[in-house]
Amino acid sequence: MKYVLKDFEYYLKNEKGSSINTISSYMHDLAQYQAFLETYHDIKKPRDIEKKHIEGFLKSMRKQVTAKSVARKLTAIKSFHHFLALEKETDENVALALQSPKIEKSLPKVLSIDEVLAILNMANESKKLGYRNQALLELIYGSGLRVSELLDIKMEDIHLNQGYIIVKGKGDKERMVPISDVSMIALRNYIVKSREDLMGDKKTSYLFLNQQGQRLSRQGFFKLLKKLAHDAGVETECSPHTLRHSFATHLLENGMDLRTLQSLLGHEDISTTQIYTHISQKRIKEIYKEAHPRAKEDHHV
């Protein structure tokens, strides 16, 4: 089975163009799946897998992890069995009829504008790291980037004079993202006054570096953001994704249409973007009051 899994990993990377995070997640879930099949059913060949074996694995997982994690594992398994049928490793796709568990969509946590500003104001304490932190936060909030997109930016992706950067989204799809004047100033300050000091004698094209002159990691940025939010007295749970959610919500509240927001966020499907609309009720009520002749308090009877 491990050879087939290796082939599947190659397929995800080179044929499907899946992101590194997706591939890593799928392979982790499938390693658990393989271990279950071998341990409890002595299955070593894909042809021996039946629908009941997959159901048994999912049932055992429900006792250990959330419904969201089970759904993610089933997605990996379904993709794997699609590949097996495609490659004629199995006669049929035994995972085809399996239904994903229903997941309650949890509403994204959103910071107020004041909370975002409080965190941004905490970012410029020490000179060398302060410039970097300021640029990091201005860019992720100012452009609504995913954390992986932010940390994968290279020097050649930045076009400050034209006011945009190129980012690689899911499936390595590139998109052009506009950057604000404030972000441009923060980026210039970091590049000119701090980045070379952080890089030292190392050579790297990644924009955001840690104190060892290497690409800043997700964990490193997450810890930094948690500390800044704590120091700023922000009690709302804060992660890099919270800043992306806040970016989207604040734009919607100020009248941006969904299609433009979809493009900025790099969402393939507008239904993904629609999760933000529930937060923008304030804006909808304002437009309604302005537009409807009987919505205003001073209408004539």
Q: Please report the pLDDT score of residue 16 as a whole number.
A: 87
Q: Please report the pLDDT score of residue 15 as a whole number.
A: 87
What digits encode the pLDDT tens for the residues 166-211? 998 877 788 899 998 999 999 999 999 999 999 999 899 999 999 9
Catalytic hit among 81, 132, 168, 267: 267
Output the six-digit token pair for 34.
């393989």
Evaluate the CA torsion angle 256, 258, 259, 261 in order and state its sign.
Answer: positive
- Whether 276 is catalytic is yes
Catalytic hit among 13, 82, 188, 241: 241
Catalytic hit among 154, 170, 188, 283: 170
Cα first-last separation, the chain: 76
Domain assignments of the chain as residue spans, ordered by start? 2-86, 113-286
Q: Please report the pLDDT score of residue 5 as a whole number.
A: 95
In 19-112, alpha helices (H): 20-41, 51-62, 67-86
Catalytic hit among 72, 81, 146, 168: 146
Give the span between the Cα atoms of 301 and 262, in whole angstroms. Answer: 42
The closest of 264, 16, 272 to 164, measured between CA atoms, is 264
Pick the CATH number of 2-86 from 1.10.510.10, 1.25.40.10, 1.25.40.80, 1.10.150.130: 1.10.150.130
- Whether 170 is catalytic is yes
Please state the φ and ψ torsions of residue 123, each to the nearest 5 degrees: -80, -10
Give the span between the Cα atoms of 28 and 149, in whole angstroms. Answer: 22
- Give the bridge partners for 168, in sequence order: 174
Output the six-digit token pair for 86.
């495609």
| The Cα angle at residue 55 between residues 86 and 20, in degrees rounded to 5 | 55
- Whether 267 is catalytic is yes
SS3 209: strand
Q: What is the DSSP string of 131-181?
A: HHHHHHHHHHHHHT--HHHHHT-BGGGEETTTTEEEEE-GGG-EEEEE--H
> Spelled out in words, what is the top-level CATH class assigned to the domain 113-286?
mainly alpha
Give the neighbor-by-neighbor strand order of the sheet with 158-159: 158-159, 164-168, 174-178
How far does Cα 16 stand from its chain's mean position? 19
Q: Please report the pLDDT score of residue 265 as a whole number.
A: 83
b/e 98-137 (16+ beta carbons within 10 angstroms → b): eeeeeeeeeebebbeeebbebbbebbbeeeebbbbbbbbb
- Whether 241 is catalytic is yes
Whole-Å CA distances, 5 to 28, 58, 74, 75? 11, 19, 16, 15
Mean pLDDT by 10 residues, the chain (301 residues): 92 88 94 96 95 96 90 95 94 91 69 92 81 94 91 95 89 86 94 93 94 94 94 91 89 84 81 70 60 60 40
Catalytic hit among 33, 141, 206, 276: 276
Catalytic hit among 195, 244, 245, 250: 244
Give the span between the Cα atoms of 162 and 31, in whole angstroms. Answer: 46
